[in-house]
Structure 1
């Protein structure tokens, strides 16, 4: 394949991944539709309950990740320009950061606001209303609604996790992770309202603090991951727990080339694809031509669709930042454990 056959800045997905992307888009639109119904129903019955207010705010915030994903996917394959030479792959990372900051801010607000209500001893009034000649406590409708809202986000979250891993999309992964754990919010809110019905007024504020703390935890985790990626940290798996195996795979491939003596990669995560700088030390006397460098770069690109942007650089000695990276990580972890 000639270099001109490739569209720099445009990720060519396999048919399987294209199906995964279409599935992800469908799931995001389904999520938006579900959230529109959920926030409307919660607004109708929440009254003065702090826990219901927290659940309503959480569902409002839940709009941010799917919208961020849809926008990012729309612009991510825009061709690079002179002003934006790396293209728009960072749109995924920016969307991840926007969603994470929204969670962090609102989680902090809910925890503080609910804690103040608890300290001041605010008793949430949950009234009654008449239906078909019967007087009913409004809390029953709150509890019933929150229990009914448990299954859908759990199912959507599990479906999205698989697609997010296939696409290596951290916006989708964060969205899926939050949805998968959303049952705790609904259950906690239902318990808080039930506590008020039993005369334990503080249950409502306690449940709201629980919901706010859950949102805050998601915000802190995702802000850290998003900032790490945007700050060009070494590419890691979608969970952020360990270096991505593609880094070692690309290095091993480069070392397998007959004219290469040693190789090391500097790889950064641009949101859904990796920008790879492969530093190569050639064998003494080996001829290095532009065609050979292009062939090596294209071979690395062909290893995996995420290795979308590859640059090969000839060096006399590998930079310290890339030489034996995996081994240094192990030594560093061993040193910290020993200390």
Structure 2
């Protein structure tokens, strides 16, 4: 079996890819430091525990991206004739599944705390001979664990769209929304300070719902991607206009009477078939080869589209 051509990002996107990897490494080290800081200041706060879990989970997309970045560009071979592009989709699935599962667990945990009326307390701490409320340290840790992540997320979003990298986009969206997690946890801690014992668990439940929502949305998309749903855009999950562009490009060919196109996602790239009803048989092989190359030139994501001549096309449903 003839393997597909090896994939590399176009030269104009290589810098974006390297920048994305650099940002993910920065994110990993930043999150590790935030996880340590939040763990040391967690106390009995349910909201802090949930925010800590979210930061721990936030490592998954970054690590998945960095692992898949080392694998997807390997050359196709006889055993993997389509290459290793699906590793990107697998990484996306792993990230989404982790989000969804832990979001559900944390929501259940915080809900049980409210039902059982577990009343957390935040005591005093002595540092360098001075005693003060531990809540101040918690709030400082939450700010550290939230604000830088927002800026990292904003830097990743345009890269994810240009690279058609859903795992990176998921990570960026999570980073960008971290301020909500931090704010909810801070409100919960302040609530404890004012004697509102339920505020902490309520804040934890809100954070859990946000995690669960992100997990469900991305898990659903990751699953349908692996089921070969028609390609969707990264930013709004709508049908990719490239499908229409390919169809229109082939429809303009004088030697084609009718055409149907179907594409599927293989990680960052698209593969698929174009079934054409030739208007003439003269130089058909040459026409097909030229058209296939023209399709590849439309966009770097159109990695391989096989053009198959047929006598007639089935009626659309």
Give your verdict on TM over 0.5. yes
SS in 2 for 1:276: strand
Shift of 1:147: 2.3
- Assess if the C-alpha contact under 8 Å between 2:4 and 2:81 holds in 1: no
Structure 1 residue ranges without an equivalent (≥5): 329-339
What is the CA RMSD across the aligned residues, in angstroms? Answer: 1.6
> Following the alignment from structure 2 to structure 1, what is the Cα–Cα distance between the partners of residues 43 and 137?
11
> Following the alignment from structure 1 to structure 2, what is the Cα–Cα distance between the partners of residues 185 and 260?
55
SS in 2 for 1:302: helix
1:168-247 equivalences under 5 Å are 168-247=164-243
Which string of whole-angstrom CA distances, capped at 9 and with x for unpartnered residues, describes residues 96-136 of structure 1?
00000000010000000010011101011212121233221
- 2:64 matched to which residue of 1? 68
> Following the alignment from structure 1 to structure 2, what is the Cα–Cα distance between the partners of residues 213 and 219?
10
Shift of 1:296: 1.3
Which string of whole-angstrom CA distances, capped at 9 and with x for unpartnered residues, describes residues 256-304 of structure 1?
2231112121011112110121111110x33254332221111111110
- Residue 309 (structure 2) aligned to one of 309, 314, 319: 314
Query: What is the TM-score with the length of structure 2 in the denominator?
Result: 0.95
- 2:299 matched to which residue of 1? 304
- Assess if the C-alpha contact under 8 Å between 1:10 and 1:79 holds in 2: yes
Shift of 1:240: 5.0
Alignment pair present for 1:22 and 2:18: yes
- Residue 158 (structure 1) aligned to one of 154, 160, 163: 154
SS in 2 for 1:62: helix
1:6-45 equivalences under 5 Å are 8-45=4-41
How many equivalent pairs are there? 316
Alignment pair present for 1:90 and 2:86: yes
Query: What is the TM-score with the length of structure 1 in the denominator?
Result: 0.89
Shift of 1:319: 3.6
> Following the alignment from structure 2 to structure 1, what is the Cα–Cα distance between the partners of residues 237 and 62?
24
Alignment pair present for 1:290 and 2:285: yes
SS in 1 for 2:298: coil
